[in-house]
Chain A
């Protein structure tokens, strides 16, 4: 009987050792933008989803063409 009580008591004492982590933290599970959305209908042409370099070049061209009229007029 004593052994049973001792085992139960030990399990109770060791319960804290199995505690799940409770720390909060920001989500780091975001998907990089250059991976694309997988929906070709809404994706701008001129780059390949998954290719970071082509995505950056396409965006950079869009920044210039769409926003810098001096580069278009000269």
Chain B
């Protein structure tokens, strides 16, 4: 198996926030932390686009590179996980991550940062698979149950795809071929609103 990846099809995402809710429920994520969230650009304007964002489990993860205590590790499936027993809550990963994935619960009287929390691709953590300790610290380990992340499995329009990078890329490619367009839909033009309406002016699609 190649690396586990998420892909969000911005043509299909309807900003229902089902993925966010499913994630919070499945992993019993505490108040103040969203491991996943839906980002909408040009909200309210016809043609608005949404994508669901969480940890992208980068192949060359910057969080992993900057962590001073090396609490991150990568599983054989390419899922980037961390050890909360090692994390010191310094927040470096939060600054390094381009997706805003690392979250910090406010703990203590003065709102001191707690241990970092992030999307685990529903793969738990370094505790024993399916153990209570794993659930309390990291949430469900659905991969060890032979399932995919709950956010993707719950997605009503199947905008959010999760799984082997090769497989999900093929699924998206099939959709784009069927539509006849859409590979370029999420880019600079969509984000910053060029007249091309989602297509980078002068760029090859």
Interface residues in chain A, defined as those with a beta carbon under 8 Å from any beta carbon in chain B: 24-39, 42-44, 46-47, 55-56, 58-60, 62-64, 66-70
Contact = CB atoms under 8 A, between A and B. Distances in A.
A23 B178 CA distance: 54
Interface string B68-92: 0111110111000111011000000
Contacts of A37: 129-130, 141, 144-145
Given A25-B70, A26-B86, A27-B85, A35 B152 contact: no
B161 interface: yes
B148 A59 contact: yes
B48 to A, nearest CB: 24
Interface-centre pick from B86, B126, B129, B130 (highest chain A CB count, 10 A): B129
Given A46-B146, A62-B146, A26 B129 contact: no
Given A42-B130, A56-B1, A63-B167, A70 B146 contact: no
B146 A58 contact: yes
Contacts of A62: 146-148, 163
Interface of B: 1, 67, 69-73, 75-77, 81-83, 85-86, 123, 125-126, 128-130, 141, 143-148, 152-153, 158, 161-164, 167-168, 171, 174-175, 178
Contacts of A59: 1, 143, 146, 148, 163-164
Contacts of B67: 26
Contacts of A58: 146
Nearest to A37: B130
Interface-centre pick from B67, B130, B153 (highest chain A CB count, 10 A): B130
B126 A30 contact: yes
Contact of A33 (B70, B71, B82, B129): B129
Given A27-B86, A67-B163, A60 B1 contact: yes
A62 B70 CA distance: 33
A46 to B, nearest CB: 7
Nearest to B170: A68
B76 to A, nearest CB: 6
